[in-house]
Structure 1
Amino acid sequence: MTPLGARLHPTIVDTISQLETALYQARASVSVRALTLSVTPEFSSQWLASQLEDFCQRYPDIELKMIVGYQRPDFGPNGVDLAIWLGRAEVGLVMEELLMDEEFVVSSPTLSKRLPKRYAIKAAPLLRYTGMRHTVLDWQRWYEQVLDHDVGDEMAEFNIGQAVENGPLFESFADMLAACRDSLGFALVRSSLVAKDIAEGQLVRCFVEVQPSAVSYNLLYPPNALQNPSAALFRAWLISQVNAIA
């Protein structure tokens, strides 16, 4: 070894050792199959929760972390892989439509049976919850259809916006539905979030008026997100579940 080689040797050995350590850690991280999903509370509790057992049984080695809330998903280096979001995607993200819902009013079967034939919307409070976006606007869109069928002086004086503001306010969508099941009022809901309740007879569609939802549930992710095999598997599984129910 030349004098120059002798001086370089410790540095080269140390560099190679660091490279071997980095490669080992990279291989170890690949063996841990992980996925982080951002989802809204309503979709999590009313739709996804009942489906996740199937995913966990199919892919027991995938570690699924869920971030439940209304904050916009963070797709940064330490953020989420996929997001189920109600609304449009930001520029640069892939957006795949999952569910196109209808919106209609539900109540308990008990309340529905005792509604009057006319002016029934005035017979019980209009329920709402803190996370609900565009509450008054959605009710107003729905109510415009009622006016076409149930006109009269009494209804002309009825202010749907004020009725919504005066209605009971609940902490979550689940709490609002529980109150609705207990005959405490009407709830304006999306079809995908109450399918189970309606199938089991706990809630009923108490008015004929229905409207397409202004926004849909979408799957959002960065263009390179599916390079994570766990994200690709979850996406394929989620779409198959949606198609099976549709």
Structure 2
Amino acid sequence: MRRRLLPSLTALRTFEAVARCMSFTEAAGELNVTQSAASRQVRILEEYVGGSLFVRTRGRLELTDEGRIYAAELKDALDRMEFATLQAMAYERGGGVLRVGVLPTFGTRWLIPRLSRFSKAHPKITLNLNAGDGAVDFGMQGIDVAIRFGSGQWPDAVSYRLGLSEEMVVVCSPDLRAGDRALTSPEELRHFVLLQHTTRPQAWSQWLAEARIDDADPAVGPSFEHFFMLIQAAVAGLGVALLPRFLIADELRTGALVAPLAQTTVYEGGYYLICPAARKELTKIRAFRDWLLEESAVTTPLDAA
């Protein structure tokens, strides 16, 4: 059996702390040891690897090139060791903390109003939500799973498609609809400002093509980065928006937004739960995945459940 070539964990933890704090004094305080003890552990590690990891320049502590690379790799390794330990501690208890990276509007409009159901079914699992809509990096973002919109392809991850589609509905404020020019047919859209969503750049083109309207410019109009901004812009009467029906159920019910046209379109893509392939069978991830898939397949209104 091959013996692993590893220095002591104490020396590794000390070096990582000093490299992160760039101070023996601060690292020693964090580790609850003396400064000389921290310095001794770093010297032991340097002897083990056979090279200097730090240099002092004009009284300042700096990492060598080797030390900088080693520190980055070591931090990642220690983070993974900590994560694995926490998972092992929580496994038998069926609980733990699950960190979820979620799209901002999806989180506030759809997920959060339903989380009491998850908490009731899994009281030992605590969910921490982080808003984000860009690329997924589980380590850098400090998350266990993510909810994103896309095609289902993410590197080094498995994805599960939720039972939600983006049926895009043309909506506007009641005042805008009742203005000088009534919006009663697709042909009238050429007289209105078309509000844009930066991550759905083809939505208006798709809707207009399916409605066979060719005299309205699908790309002209103010754009918004998030759906919640686009929703507020439409409510404020800034123009006509194309929005997923399930995200604006409240506005349609209260009359803050109206849907003057029957024509809808389903935007290509879907909502997915994404997690690292190596962690997909963790108890807390499986529990959240199964609940989310079941919840997203339910078609009854939230308040009817």
Shared fold by TM > 0.5?
yes
The question of whether the paired residues in 1 share the 8 Å contact of 2:173 and 2:234 is answered with yes
* Aligned with residue 218 of structure 1, among 260, 272, 283: 272
C-alpha separation between the residues in 2 aligned to 1:89 and 1:106?
Answer: 31
Residue 19 (structure 1) aligns with: none
Q: Cα distance, 1:240 vs. partner?
A: 2.0
Q: Which runs of 5 or more structure 1 residues have no equivalent in the other structure? A: 1-21
Q: What CA deviation, in whole Å up to 9, does each residue of 1:3-25 have, x standing for no partner?
A: xxxxxxxxxxxxxxxxxxx9xx7
Cα RMSD of the aligned pairs, angstroms, is: 2.9
1:96 corresponds to: 160
Match of 2:232 in 1: 178
In structure 1, what is the equivalent of residue 257 of structure 2?
203
**Is the contact between residue 194 and residue 218 of structure 2 (CA under 8 Å) also seen in structure 1?**
no
Residue 184 of structure 2 contacts residue 261 of structure 2 at CA under 8 Å; is this kept in 1? no
Q: Does 1:39 align with 2:102?
A: yes
Matching of residue 138 in structure 1 with residue 198 in structure 2: no
Percent identity reads 27
**CA distance in structure 1 between the partners assigned to 2:96 and 2:172 by the alignment:** 43
2:67 maps to which residue? none
Within a 5 Å distance, the mapping from 1:61-140 to structure 2 comes to 61-76=124-139, 79-87=142-150, 88-98=152-162, 99-114=164-179, 115-117=182-184, 119-129=187-197, 132-135=198-201, 137-140=202-205
Q: TM-score, normalised by structure 2?
A: 0.59
| CA distance in 2: counterparts of 1:28 and 1:220, whole angstroms | 21
* Distance in 1 between residues matched to 2:184 and 2:138, nearest whole Å: 51
Asked if 1:48 is matched to 2:111, the reply is yes
Structure 1 length-normalised TM: 0.72
Per-residue CA deviations over 1:88-124 (Å, capped at 9, x if unaligned) read: 2224432221122212211123333442445421343
**Structure 2 letter corresponding to 1:33:** G
Number of residues of Structure 1 aligned to a counterpart in Structure 2 = 209
CA distance in 2 between partners of 1:219 and 1:169 (Å): 27
One-letter code of the match for 1:214?
Answer: E
* Higher normalized contact order (CA 8 Å, seq sep 6+, divided by chain length): 1
Q: Which runs of 5+ in 2 are unaligned?
A: 1-81, 301-305
Q: Is the 8 A contact 1:73 1:80 kept in 2?
A: no
